[in-house]
Amino acid sequence: MQPYVLVLYYSKYGSTKEMAHLIANGVEAAGMAVKIRTVPNIATVVKEAEPSIPAEGDIYCTLDDLAQCSALALGSPTRFGNMASEMKYFWDQTTSLWLNGALHGKPACVFTASGSMHGGQESTLLTMLPPLFHHGMMIMGLSNATPALSNTKSGGTPYGASHVSGPRHDQGLSQDEKILCEVQGKRLAEVALKLYQA
């Protein structure tokens, strides 16, 4: 099977989705294949189950998509300074992969979008990491070798790419935020390729 980077995200209003696709561009720029996957909405009251294939957009991630990846970029909106429950719910179903060490030694990074500038991006990024550590993954952030990380006036952190979408989530990604997404994907793929070829 051709090695690939899995870009796995949840997005309600589209910001994290746009970041996921920019990260995927960076992966492809490094010459590696990419799978973009999302997770379904969850609700406390359910009248009807959601279809297993979404009507539009990226398809839902299977455990096999995750188990077979060479590297992972994981994205979630900031929800009260933490990852969205939809994404946490997905990780709570990965015990079988944890038991057989399917993700051991694979590189991973995280990204997020928040409504406000100081609304908890860093706490979201850092609290997305424990499940990845438990799975034995190797965590990568961003580096100041990319000038956009120092120059940005909105999102972008050493812990992973980020975006400030504004109170009505209608603020597009800035040029620096876009660069950091693409660099993060490229960097992850370059490391994955080195590990894969070693």
Ligand X SMILES: Cc1cc2nc3c(=O)[nH]c(=O)nc-3n(C[C@H](O)[C@H](O)[C@H](O)COP(=O)(O)O)c2cc1C
| Angle of the 15-29 helix axis to the 175-197 helix axis, nearest 10 | 50
Taking the chain, what is the end-to-end CA distance rounded to the nearest angstrom?
17
* Closer residue to ligand X in complex, CB, 32/128: 128
78 or 146, CB closer to ligand X? 78
String of contacts with ligand X for each residue 59-98, x by CB under 6 A: ------------------xxxxx-----------------
At residue 103's C-alpha, the angle toward residues 66 and 10, to 5°, is 40
User: Which residues touch 62 (CB under 8 Å, ≥6 apart)?
Assistant: 37
Please tell me the distance from the alpha carbon of residue 95 to that of residue 112, in angstroms, as a whole number.
Answer: 24
x/- map, 162-181, ligand X, by CB under 6 A:
---x---x------------
What is the spatial distance between Cα 102 and Cα 143, in angstroms, rounded to a whole number?
28
Q: Least distance in Å: CB of 43 to ligand X?
A: 13
Shortest spacing between CB 79 and ligand X, in angstroms? 4
Q: Does 116 bind ligand X (CB under 6 A)?
A: yes
Interacting residue ranges for ligand X, rule: CB under 6 A = 11-17, 77-81, 113-116, 119-120, 165, 169
